[in-house]
Amino acid sequence: MNTLGLERRDWRNMVVVAAVVTLVIAGSAEGPLGVRVVAGAIAGAISAGVFMVSTLLINRYKPDHW
């Protein structure tokens, strides 16, 4: 993770984002419990990926004074 320029808190934040999205989607989706859990897991994985790409881009291209 350090070779990409990510810090420990970035990993923690990604897990929190993925967990919250998973719970919200699983709680608000309709259908059997298994389908809701799978839908939440897929949405959580996608949001975690987007979060990591965004974090990497911000860390790479942010101004020096940040």
b/e map 33-53, b = 16+ CB within 10 Å: eeebeebbeebbeebbeebbe
Q: Which amino acid, one-letter code, is at 66? A: W
The model's pLDDT over 31-55, given as tens digits with 9 standing for 90+, comes to 999 999 999 999 999 999 999 999 9
User: Which pLDDT score is estimated for 66?
Assistant: 73
Is 58's pLDDT higher than 70?
yes
Is 59's pLDDT higher than 60?
yes
Listed by start position, the domains of the chain span 30-60
Tokens for 54, please give them. 């965004």
The model's pLDDT over 16-36, given as tens digits with 9 standing for 90+, comes to 999 999 999 999 999 999 999
pTM: 0.81
